[in-house]
Amino acid sequence: MFKFFETLVDPYCDYDEVDAPPTKLWPFMREYARPFRKVFVITSIISVVVAAVEIGLIAYMGRIVDLLSGDPAQVWADHAGEFIAVVLFVLFLRPALQALDVLLLNNTVLPNFGTLIRWRAHKHVLRQSVGWFENDFAGRIANRIMQTPPAAGEAVFQVFDAITFSIAYVVGAAVLLADADPRLVLPMLGWLLLYGGLVRWTVKHVGPASQKSSDARSQVTGRVVDAYTNIHSVKLFAHNKRELEYAKEAIEYSRETFQQEMRIFTLMDVMLVTLNGVLIVSVVGWSIWLWMQGQASVGVVAAATALSLRLNAMTGWIMWALTSFFRQLGVVAEGMETIAQPIDLVDEKSAKPLEFQSGEIKLDALSHHYGRGSGGLDKISLTIAPGEKVGLIGRSGAGKSTLVKLLLRFYDAESGRILIDDQDVSQITQDSLRDAIGMVQQDSSLLHRSVRDNLLYGRPDASEEEMIAAAQKAEAHDFILDLEDPQGRKGYDAHVGERGVKLSGGQRQRITLARVILKDAPILLLDEATSALDSEVEAAIQSTLYGMMAGKTVIAIAHRLSTIAEMDRILVLDQGYIVEQGTHAELLELGGQYAGFWARQSGGFLNADEAAE
């Protein structure tokens, strides 16, 4: 039974992905709710039926009070069949209706609606560009992805569990009172107007206060996660107190916003109790007055009293449900600041997969300044022949990393083009472009998974033998076999910790190298590929590096000139321009910047800024 309801909606069903999701709350919620439309209709109907049953039971209680005023034997003789039918209804049909209601809510809507939002939101965020992630806290992004789905699910739950039910209940109560005596509806309508005003005031203030409070909590998460992620720097500079103060500022702001939110609830509770007192006194008092005038039966008084007390008990729950509903919508609205942001770097509609031929790379008047008008690259034109090995050097900020990021299409160039085998990288799919490129970065961070998972990230379909062979070429196999994590997992099954923190810098770099060796892409980018290796290990894998380059088009960034001295061509970048290019020997003979770098290096390491001066 549970399985049937749990699988009524598939949260991973196919859908039309959009680059720019709705940015307004209701269209946003409506878009995610599409797969649940039929379930929502059925749930609404069941909720109304359940409310009608509750009103019916109160009305029947009034009938029983009137019937009991007669002779007991005669009452039983005249109404035995009716009583048995009601008993059977209460014992069997009412629980069945209630079970259907909660099964739809608890087992169909709640688990699947939140899952659908979390899955699609994560899928959307993963499509964002590298630059988008660089402009926000990873912790805040993750917090919004985690807190928005349950908030949306809770909002939907309240619609059917409380709001639909309560509307049906209030309408049914009015009908019941009107049926007993139309004048009994008047005090209830007056109370309803006042109650509606209170609801409106509460909703008006709760939504913005909740969104502000939710944003403050996300800020706390972002700052705390930032400290944990950079714990080595925190400890190295002995800045525990500084980080505590930085976090305390956000935590205190979160407390203040939460206090403001709670003030609204306190005022609401006080006003609600007062209004409920008015409801009880007016409805029950009027029904007693009608009875005293002989215009209402004892059963009417009993039903009116029961209904008033029931509404009194329900109004707190209804108000809580409504405020919870709008409070959760405030959380969703805050999460939309991340989830509903348009994708800023997308494949063209006509984009096709890269048709790799020989690996020729052309830069045509390429410029990119990150929107600042300076820095980056300025009108670079360059052709790298198929299989050519090119080294890039230059002081920090000269444009080396910018060139690599544009080639990978982590950013779109502000002007100019990059072509691979005469195919503009902006006109081909991003995945096919990056499939054709292997890259070893200076920051060799790893996934918080096993060594095997990290290696197979390069080529998931590789065999165990191919994976081990790649690790051996990178001089990583031996130390991998000695690894063991706190859970007792060993060797290739050992987990490396967040960003690979349980390994040394050299070990991380060698695993990164092994991953790229395993990928075996035809274009190879090396950004300080051996910067974390000691001289002995670097010498041991130098031949492996050159073996990796065989038959590939290579661009290598290095400060350690010994790693690029054997390149076919070396480019010297300065302030976004190519100021020198040639072989190692030609550049030394030229006597320019490269010759100065070479003369001033120590142990093969380039202090580019000092040399440039």
Statement: residue 255 has pLDDT above 90: yes
pLDDT tens sequence across 93-145:
999 998 999 999 899 998 999 999 999 999 999 989 888 888 887 778 888 88
Q: Where in the chain is the domain with CATH 1.20.1560.10?
A: 18-339
Statement: residue 522 has pLDDT above 60: yes
Pick the CATH number of 347-436+525-532+559-613 from 1.10.3080.10, 3.50.50.60, 3.40.50.300, 3.30.70.20: 3.40.50.300
Q: Which residue pairs, CB below 8 angstroms and at least 24 apart, start in 483-489? A: 483/451, 489/450
Q: Where in the chain is the domain with CATH 3.40.50.300?
A: 347-436+525-532+559-613
Q: What is the mean pLDDT of residues 362-367?
A: 93
| Average per-residue pLDDT for the chain | 84
Query: What per-residue confidence (pLDDT) applies to 531?
Result: 63
| pLDDT-derived band at 528, boundaries 50, 70, 90 | confident
C-alpha pair distances (Å), 124 with each of 22, 117, 338, 348, 551:
13, 10, 10, 17, 37
Question: Given its phi and psi angles, is residue 536 left (phi above 0), alpha (psi -120 to 50 degrees) or beta?
Answer: alpha
pLDDT tens sequence across 37-82:
999 999 988 988 888 888 788 777 777 877 777 777 888 888 888 8
Domain 18-339, architecture per CATH = Up-down Bundle (1.20)
- Count the neighbouring beta carbons within 10 Å of the beta carbon of residue 234: 16
- The model carries a pTM of 0.75
> Closest by alpha carbon to 568, among 557, 554, 558, 580?
554
Q: What are 330's two structure tokens?
A: 């405030």
Query: What per-residue confidence (pLDDT) applies to 606?
Result: 47
Q: What is the mean pLDDT of residues 220-243?
A: 83
- In the sheet that holds 361-368, the strands lie side by side as 377-384, 361-368, 415-420, 423-424
